[in-house]
Structure 1
Amino acid sequence: MSSFQIEGGRRLSGSITPQGAKNEALQVICAVLLTSESITISNIPDILDVNNLISLLGDMGVDIKRENANTYTFKADKVNLDYLQTEDFYSKSASLRGSVMIVGPLVARFGKAIIPKPGGDKIGRRRLDTHFIGIQKLGAEFHYDPSAKRYEIEAKKLTGCYMLLDEASVTGTANILMAAVMAEGITTIYNAACEPYLQQLCKMLNAMGAKISGVGSNLLTIEGVTKLNGCQHRILPDMIEVGSFIGMAAMTASEITIKDVAYNELGIIPDSFRRLGIQLEQRGDDIFIPYQKNYTIESFIDGSIMTIADAPWPGLTPDLLSVFLVVAAKAKGSVLIHQKMFESRLFFVDKLIDMGAQIILCDPHRATVIGQGNHLHLRASTMSSPDIRAGIALLIAALCAEGTSTIHNIDQIDRGYQDIDIRLNALGANIKRI
């Protein structure tokens, strides 16, 4: 297991380009199973979760050709469904939560799928009900084998229908959508997720010959087709990386430029950082963050304490709340961070408290941060990354701290951030991979 040693207190400077979006990559790569024709996808991030999914598809019989560092061509013309019965498939797919999104494509094209209970971050319960209920409504039957800890899904025929999702789940919407594109008749999905990454999946499927309307809204209408074709698709920049770099620049009092961010797809993220008092400027499709000696948290118009909470798109993505929490510790003023979706995602704050941050964990979903401004002098610490997003928050804290910190279990960070140590060292950081 690898670790990072981080020398804190160094200012960063220069420019950095975000990787392709992890969350989009996991969706569109699963979609290649919907056709026997070639699909080329570019700007794929070279990170563990994505690489593991690509490897899993290769083991399933998908022909995969790496065109260059971030471009792959997939051809799923010889999918081996017998592989789904093997122990190798069970162990690989169980450790990768994104593998659940192979269910929709497999059921749509082959009429059956098998999936173990998926893994991923240890951030509390993450229900699959939305995925399964939606695909059931299209005509699939689910059976859970408790001894094998796997779901077996079969569908003799998928038929379009109306459904109202109980939550605007991004991966749930993606999974149902990929099943519905080849269902007979018309499917209407209300309360659908509408994140940019889901919009990207819709655009890719339409390029393959699907008939999806309402893209970008929470009401999707899908007219089923019998066959899908190949296409070319480019993945968006990762908005989570963009937000992480904004927070990192502010907390280390650095001046950096984030290149090619697809600014119009960032939604409320830039303004949410401005609420913490962080200055940032759009320059074309880049974001420039100037040097700031300090930054002050705004209050609401009536003078009440600022609250930053996650919400379905176009609200603030939950994947950035860990970054907002750590960055607020060095702001002037107080803020309530409300993580509504995952009940364990804020539990890493004890590590920040040990470093000197003033944070009150109110309950599993809420933390009050009392920002100390330039009076905050974080102490170096030895800690372990519990999940991807907490890991990047701890890395930001370590870059700001006095002395040398160590972060263990950085495989969690590598799951979501490509060569993060190399890229930050190019900006002036001193991060050693041990």
Structure 2
Amino acid sequence: MNTNKKIGRLIQQVRQQRGLTQAQLAKMMSTSQSAINRIEHGKQNLSLETVKRFSQVLQQALVNFNEKNISLRINGGRKLAGEATVDSAKNTTLALMFAALLNGGRTTLKGASRVEEIFRIIEVFESIGVNVRWVGDDLEIKRPARFDIGNIDDEACMKTRSAMMLIGPLAGEIRKFTIPFSGGCRLGKRSINAHAYALEEMGVNINTTDDFYQINSRLRKATRPITMYESGDTATINVILAAARVEGPTLLRMASSNYQVQDVCVFLKQLGINAKWLDSSILMIEGRGKLVKKDIDYWPAEDPVKAMTLIAAAITTDSEITVKRAPLDFLELELLKINKMGCKTEILKEYKGRNRQLRLGDVLIRRHGGNLTALEDKISCRPYPGINIDHLPYFVPIAATASGTTLIHDWVYENRAIYYTELNRIGADVQLADPHRVYVHGPTKWHAADLSCPPAIRPATVNLIGMLAAPGMSTLRNIYTINRGYENIAKTFNDLGADIEIIKDI
């Protein structure tokens, strides 16, 4: 990446942190929004005086570094202690951003997650005319009267699969549009059939070319119940958002009922769109058939994945910590498995979340003192209810801490299990049985190492957890992948007593 692109990316990041739109920054710089857009995408040469002016306006000295080259230096082998509070879920915030496109009024997502994937979707939204701004810790979204879909930010789209969720809310307004192929974690082949087969029941057809998804929409009410080809989270949300724009009921079977899907349903009720669960995988959506216009303040639900990350770190480092505001309904089976391995946990307090739907609790993870035993049965994941698909990787360092052999079956993704073997470089004994299964032999004598992050959020974070347990100085390089899903992860662990230094390559 050349210097202009490096500086442009940093300007963009600081602008978003300041809660400024491109238009607002352009006014402060006495230039045009198109010029700011070119600068942020590295398409305009910058003089030293211009960089200095940006520094003054943004009130931050601009340094020439690449976000992808941020690394962590971990002085491992320390015990963790204290309390950590779970904040809003990245996946929920993303889903609610797309749901907000159904609202003709203002939507404010309170305490929204500030992670790289959110920033990419903000770029996509701004490129198609959505007004997005940070107001303190809150994310304010106001859709335009007409979407400028032809101006969509291709580069931002290609960095996250979440951009696929544009199809649902836009299908009721635009008959033909294209979306660039979506990126995200590199976890093997991930088809869009779950989206395509369900949406075609409502007159929305998705055709794939070499570079784009082409959407042809004649959105209508489905003539029969829709059965999801796969119970995927983003596919289910896409169908829900499309159904919300159709007058009358849509019955959805084999739907995902994961935490972000449930939160979208709660949000839609505030818009006057009833999304009612008839069973754990059967959902009835009563569409309005027209745009709703309300001003809504909404708190995204807390993140079970962050809670699971903290729990895994405590167990792997044999530490005692309290995880506050943990979403219990999405952690109960995980906690049961952990208890059966010999780690004692206790729910100190139970209460409702801010949306009055989610059951939260403060969970105490006690030290196991090395008395952790591998489970006799395999550990595998499934769509909710079950061990969360995003939680399964965190059982790898837990199993590596236990005495005995654990079979972990990661059947969802072709490549993710392969990344678990990276833990062998810091002392673990992870044996790859096939692309979906690993045998984890413990206990592990962790040791320090220098690693680069694999291109998937959860396996990359698992490496960090292993390094927290490894005595000595480890380096985890290129943590952009982790930053896609976690906000200030180094600070989170340092507040618990870890010793992590952020290294920015200049």
One fold, TM greater than 0.5? Answer: yes
- Deviations along 1:279-302, one digit per CA (max 9) or x if unpaired, are 211111201112221132354xxx
Please name the residue that 1:170 is paired with: 233
Match of 1:247 in 2: 312
Q: What CA deviation, in whole Å up to 9, does each residue of 1:198-250 have, x standing for no partner?
A: 11101111211212222662111122212323333211111011011011011
Instruction: Please give the alpha-carbon distance, in whole angstroms, between the structure 2 residues aligned to 1:65 and 1:98.
Output: 19
Q: Distance in 2 between matches of 1:319 and 1:109?
A: 33
- 2:90 pairs, out of 22, 37, 41, with 22
Which residue does the alignment assign to 2:58?
A: none
State the partner residue of 2:482: 413
2:418 is paired with a residue whose SS is coil
2:109 is paired with a residue whose SS is strand
Letter in 1 for 2:494: N
Deviation at 1:167, TM superposition (A): 1.2
Q: Distance in 2 between matches of 1:289 and 1:332?
A: 19
Unaligned runs of 5+ in 1: 300-304
Instruction: Pick from 125, 150, 153 the counterpart of residue 215 of structure 2.
Output: 153
Is 1:356 paired with 2:427?
yes
Q: How far 1:120 sits from its partner (Å)?
A: 0.1
Structure 2: how far apart are the matches of 1:63 and 1:353? 46
* 1:11-410 map, 5 Å: 11-69=79-137, 71-81=138-148, 84-86=149-151, 89-146=153-210, 149-161=211-223, 162-214=225-277, 217-227=280-290, 228-230=292-294, 231-284=296-349, 285-297=361-373, 299=375, 305-372=376-443, 376-386=444-454, 387-410=456-479
Letter in 1 for 2:222: G
In structure 1, how many angstroms separate the alpha carbons of the residues matched to 2:332 and 2:263? Answer: 15
SS in 1 for 2:141: strand
Q: Matches of 2:286 and 2:385 in 1, distance apart?
A: 26
TM-score, with length taken from structure 2:
0.80
Which secondary structure state, in structure 2, belongs to the residue aligned with residue 396 of structure 1? helix
Letter in 2 for 1:52: R
Q: Is the 8 A contact 1:19 1:418 kept in 2?
A: no
Q: Distance in 2 between matches of 1:139 and 1:184?
A: 14
Q: Alignment partner of 1:306: what SS?
A: coil
C-alpha distance in structure 2 between counterparts of 1:185 and 1:396, whole Å? 48
For residues 6 and 237 of structure 1, do their structure 2 counterparts lie closer, same or farther at Cα, with a shift above 3 Å needed? Answer: same
Compare 155-164 and 317-326 and name the one that shifted more.
Answer: 155-164
Partners of 2:128 and 2:150 within 8 A in 1? no
Q: CA deviation at 1:416?
A: 0.6
Alpha-carbon distance in 2 for matches of 1:56, 1:191: 30
Letter in 2 for 1:309: S
Letter of the structure 2 residue corresponding to residue 73 of structure 1: E
Give yes or no for contact 1:34–1:108 (8 Å, CA) kept in 2: no
> Partner of 2:43 in structure 1?
none
Structure 2: how far apart are the matches of 1:153 and 1:61? 19
Letter in 1 for 2:235: G
Q: Distance in 2 between matches of 1:370 and 1:126?
A: 30
Shift in CA distance, 346/290, structure 1 to aligned 2, threshold 3 Å: same
Q: Which residue in the other structure is 2:62 paired with? A: none
> Structure 2: any 5+ residue segments left out of the alignment?
1-68, 350-360
- Amino acid of the residue matched to residue 26 of structure 1? L
Q: CA RMSD in A?
A: 1.7
Matched residues in 1 for 2:329 and 2:420: separation?
32
- Aligned partner of 2:401: which letter? K
Note closer, same or farther for the CA distance 1:370–1:135 as it changes in structure 2 (3 Å cut): same
Report the alpha carbon displacement of residue 177 of structure 1 after superposing the two structures with TM: 0.7
Contact 1:108/1:180 (<8 A) preserved: no
- Does the CA-based 8 Å contact 1:343-1:364 persist in structure 2? yes
Indicate the SS of the match to 2:153: helix
CA distance in structure 2 between the aligned counterparts of 1:359 and 1:141, rounded to whole angstroms: 43
State how far apart, in whole Å, the 2-side matches of 1:273 and 1:239 are.
15
**1:349-407 deviation per Cα after TM superposition (whole angstroms, max 9, x unaligned):** 332122221221100100111112xxx32121111111110111000000111211111
Cα distance, 1:111–1:31 mapped onto 2, change above 3 Å: farther
Who is 1:302 aligned against? none
SS at match of 2:230: coil
Contact 1:20–1:238 (8 Å) recurs in 2: yes
Q: Give the SS at the match of 1:7.
A: strand
The TM-score normalised by the length of structure 1 is 0.93
CA–CA separation in structure 1 for the residues paired with 2:213 and 2:395 = 37
The amino acid across from 1:389 in the alignment is R
Which deviates further from its counterpart, 3-12 or 102-111?
Answer: 102-111
Which aligned pairs between 1:416-427 and structure 2 lie closer than 5 A? 416-427=485-496
Distance in 2, matches of 1:275 and 1:176, equals: 38
Tell me the secondary structure at the aligned position of residue 271 of structure 1: helix
In the aligned structure 2, how far is the partner of 1:269 from the partner of 1:109? 42
1: CA distance, partners of 2:259 / 2:279: 7
Which of 1 and 2 has greater Rg?
A: 2
Contact 1:19/1:238, CA 8 A, preserved across alignment: yes
State the 1:79 CA deviation: 4.2
Letter in structure 1 aligned against 2:142: K
The 8 Å contact of residues 196 and 216 in structure 1, kept in 2 or not, is answered as: no
